[in-house]
Structure 1
């Protein structure tokens, strides 16, 4: 049984204390502890800095063979698209960049889901994005729109949605590595306080695992 985690730096395990403590690996362990009759193997197709464009290219290219053999696939993407657009909007006061970013994300996620559906029988789970900047109105509005888009696109392809945003809501200071004031300005210094710490990865794995159990 194969579980493939698709994503960006969060899925890659950026700022987790070790590779084994990133949520994809924790989810595989949880899946194996739930079922003694089925052994799960995990694969991660993710890189720090990947946008939805980058992930789409990887899904169609290098990831296609393993995805076609997978029983479960999770997709966590869009944060880079939105972060770049939101920071640009913050600096230039031009919110149109966020709208364009979400429209592009919608197209790319649709293309990914269509590709996976055409080549795999896998259970597909799309993850929503938690808000690392809960004290910034622009972040609240933008991430809400991103997550609504995720729900709409996933529904179109009969994919499940794992509400990661709900798992982190009100707990960001405890679950995000390097959390500061919860404002977008925190990211302007160069360090991005956006990734889960070990506790955050455990929360994600615990919440995500039930969604990954393949249909019988």
Structure 2
């Protein structure tokens, strides 16, 4: 049995913050899948630090990415963290809560488009496949408005799980109250332990769609 795993996203998919000799969640999850499914797992990563959801969506229009999506059994997506940073920055200059609402709606709309685009790419000859979308943990636990916005966004994001193949990886709950333990020295990206928690969160969801 062979599993093809494609990871899309931002700095979290890149593994930023994990440390020089440590991997992010992608390679960790690959090893977990190999053990759980007793299968060879190949990985393709299309991610870059700093990408916002609109730019991640754009990746799905690139032919070499579409080729990997077409044959992928497992797809993971991280995103909206950078949209959040822009919102926090804008809010500090202009304390208007509609800034967060607009950013939340924009992220959610882009994720919906990603799910639709993946289905479109795979519809001709789609074997069973799974999509795992990460919600957002809160790197600003001391900013009340940030937690309010993130929990609202995550609640909205959970609606994506009504689509076939899609489940939400709830890292918000996994990280809550343990941010100092799971975040790297920059206070934003996960450290090695945090990335292990992300991989474990994926494992707990299971492989129902693709386990043969």
| Separation in 2, partners of 1:65, 1:9 | 22
Unmatched tracts of structure 1, length 5 or more: 179-191
8 A contact 1:130–1:143 mirrored in 2: yes
Asked if the contact 1:125/1:212 (under 8 Å) is kept, the reply is: no
Q: Is the 8 A contact 2:182 2:190 kept in 1?
A: yes
Q: Which runs of 4+ in 1 moved over 6 A?
A: none
The structural deviation recorded for 1:194 is 0.8
Q: CA deviation at 1:148?
A: 1.4
The 3-state SS of whatever aligns with 2:168 is strand
Aligned residue for 2:40, secondary structure, equals coil
Listed one character per residue, the Cα deviations across residues 71-95 of structure 1 (whole Å, up to 9, x for unaligned) are 0111111111122012211221122
Shift of residue 154 of structure 1? Answer: 3.3
Q: TM-score, normalised by structure 1?
A: 0.87
Aligned residue pairs: how many?
Answer: 202
Query: Structure 2 CA distance, aligned partners of 1:9 and 1:91?
Result: 25
Aligned partners of 1:72 and 1:212 also within 8 Å: no
For 2:167, the equivalent position in structure 1 comes to 160
Shift of residue 119, structure 1, vs aligned partner:
2.3
Which stretches in structure 2 are left out of the alignment for 5+ residues?
Answer: none
| Contact residue 130 and residue 165 of structure 2 kept, 8 A | no
Deviation per CA, 1:127-146: give whole Å up to 9, x if none. Answer: 11111111211110111122
* Aligned-CA RMSD value: 1.7
Matched-pair contact (CA < 8 Å) for 1:86–1:95: no
- Is 1:148 matched with 2:155? yes
Question: Is 2:47 the counterpart of 1:53?
Answer: no
